[in-house]
């Protein structure tokens, strides 16, 4: 990615929780912010004007890119998480490195249009159907990394260990079913060998490699520590699906006599660089374990409600010490503003009380805290030395017109949608300009073509 120094003039910018008018943001050829100046009443000559409210780039912490192909299809009729999963397997079966690149490039471009500048890709489709390895064992992961580069956003590829179809009677795991064979490396040790080769390669400055444990259903207890140790040795992010379904909790208690959270704690998985995804069905002890270990939690409200999973105890987790972040997961929609809004509104429905988080706290979950979860601690703030990743939200659309600009954060979180994203800047590079993607000029057609190819 070729970068040039650039000066941006933000009509309004969200700086340290305060909306400031008329802000200059200077960027350098290393993709970082060199200066932030307030009180500049008009765009200086040669600068690029960002009309609206400019916030740090949004971080989509939890993504399964190929799930985007399910949008609409899985909304027909009724069903459960488990019936949804069967349809998901059908789409997974059609993926190749080339088709996954095409689809992911379009999905990541859709994210850029929605103001996302960094994505955490929870990646487990590693091998060919039937489980045979490609000649390049990391061909699928590398396709995702290239797709993010061509869409102009950052990626943390969370290479996922997925070994079994269920916990099994003795906790040793049940063999993968025919759909899951391409997810499995056979053992955590073999997974570690493959992902170590991926991590050692040079993928460019837009990509970082992390690890993931799919779930306690998919990784036997005896294999958990191997994955956790791999991440610890490299100080890499470690993510894990946790207690998304009550069936997972019931199975874990039946076999191990403890909850999934306790099982993870006992095998060294929890900690400040770990993020639990969903964390929907937790006991008081689970919440204390997560918060007490400073384990982060990624909430995915639009997916959790689409799949009828339930409402996770986000406020109790935060109060216990967990950093909260947000993801669009299955991509029923890709809208981080909606995810932020939904976390507050879901809590209101559960408690029948308002105001669990301020707009600024919700924006931090979507920006700074999300980037921290993905290992991009230098992103998520508009300040000197930080990564020059910016998102500008219109304040004059039919949804956002009316409030005074100083309430821009409230307007963005509680009224705006992805359709109000006007500009997206990554590493100082203008990726979305006036609502048009500069690298993928026809994103809807790219999505339609990539998804149609999986149906053939």
Active site residue ranges: 278, 329
Instruction: Give Dmax over CA atoms of the chain in angstroms.
Output: 70
Tokens of 62: 């939890």
Tokens of 140: 């699928």
**CA–CA separation, 394 vs 374, rounded Å?**
27
Distances, alpha carbon 1 to alpha carbons 122, 203, 424, 443, in Å? 24, 11, 16, 20
CA dihedral 180, 182, 188, 191 (to 10 degrees): -160
Please list, in sequence order, all residues whose beta carbon lies within 8 angstroms of the beta carbon of residue 337, skipping any fewer than 6 positions away. 58, 115, 366, 393, 412, 413, 416, 417, 418, 420
Tokens of 310: 């339930």
Instruction: Give per-residue burial for 208-221: e unless 16+ CB within 10 Å, then b.
Output: bbbbbbbbbbbbbb
Instruction: Give per-residue burial for 63-95: e unless 16+ CB within 10 Å, then b.
Output: bbbbbbbbbeebeeeeeeeeebeeebeebbebb
Number of C-beta neighbours around residue 193 at 10 A: 13
Tokens of 20: 């400031």
Q: Which of 224, 241, 220 is nearest to 297 (CA)?
A: 241
**CA–CA separation, 373 vs 441, rounded Å?**
30
Tokens of 151: 């869409």
């Amino acid at each position: 990615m070729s970068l040039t120094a650039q000066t941006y003039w933000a009509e309004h910018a969200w700086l340290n929780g305060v909306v400031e008018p008329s802000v200059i943001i200077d960027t350098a050829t290393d993709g970082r912010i060199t200066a932030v100046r307030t009180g500049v009443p008009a765009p200086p000559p040669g600068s690029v004007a960002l009309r609206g409210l400019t916030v740090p780039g949004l971080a989509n912490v939890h993504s399964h890119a190929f799930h985007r192909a399910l949008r609409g299809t899985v909304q027909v009729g009724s069903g459960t998480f488990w019936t949804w999963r069967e349809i998901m397997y059908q789409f997974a079966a059609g993926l190749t490195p080339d088709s996954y690149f095409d689809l992911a490039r379009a999905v990541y471009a859709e994210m850029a249009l929605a103001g996302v500048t960094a994505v955490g890709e929870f990646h487990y489709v590693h091998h060919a159907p039937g489980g045979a390895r490609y000649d390049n064992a990391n061909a699928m992961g590398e396709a995702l990394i290239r797709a993010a580069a061509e869409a102009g956003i950052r990626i943390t590829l969370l290479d996922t260990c997925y070994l079994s179809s269920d916990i099994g009677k003795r906790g040793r795991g049940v063999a993968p079913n025919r759909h899951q064979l391409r997810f499995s490396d056979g053992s955590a040790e073999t997974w570690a060998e493959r992902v170590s080769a991926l991590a050692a390669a040079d993928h460019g400055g837009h990509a970082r490699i992390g690890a993931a444990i799919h779930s306690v259903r998919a990784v036997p207890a005896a294999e958990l520590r191997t994955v956790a140790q791999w991440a610890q040795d490299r100080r890499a992010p470690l993510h894990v699906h946790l207690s998304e379904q009550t069936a997972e909790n019931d199975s874990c208690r039946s076999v191990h006599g403890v909850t999934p959270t306790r099982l993870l704690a006992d095998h060294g998985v929890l900690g400040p660089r770990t993020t639990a995804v969903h964390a929907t069905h937790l006991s008081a002890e689970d919440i204390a374990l997560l918060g007490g270990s400073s384990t982060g939690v990624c909430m995915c409200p639009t997916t959790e409600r689409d799949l009828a999973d339930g409402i996770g105890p986000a406020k109790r987790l935060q109060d216990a010490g967990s950093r909260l972040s947000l993801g669009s997961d299955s991509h029923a929609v890709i809208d981080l503003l909606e995810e932020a809004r939904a976390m507050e509104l879901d809590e209101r429905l559960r408690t029948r009380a308002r105001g669990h988080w301020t707009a600024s706290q919700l924006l931090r979950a979507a920006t700074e805290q999300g980037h921290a979860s993905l290992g991009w601690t230098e992103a998520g703030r508009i300040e000197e030395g930080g990564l020059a990743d910016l998102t500008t939200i219109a304040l004059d659309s039919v949804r956002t017109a009316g409030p005074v600009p100083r309430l821009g954060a409230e307007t963005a979180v509680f009224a705006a949608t992805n359709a109000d994203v006007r500009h997206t800047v990554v590493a100082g590079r203008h990726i979305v300009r006036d609502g048009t993607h500069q690298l993928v000029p026809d994103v809807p057609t790219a999505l339609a073509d990539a998804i149609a190819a999986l149906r053939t």
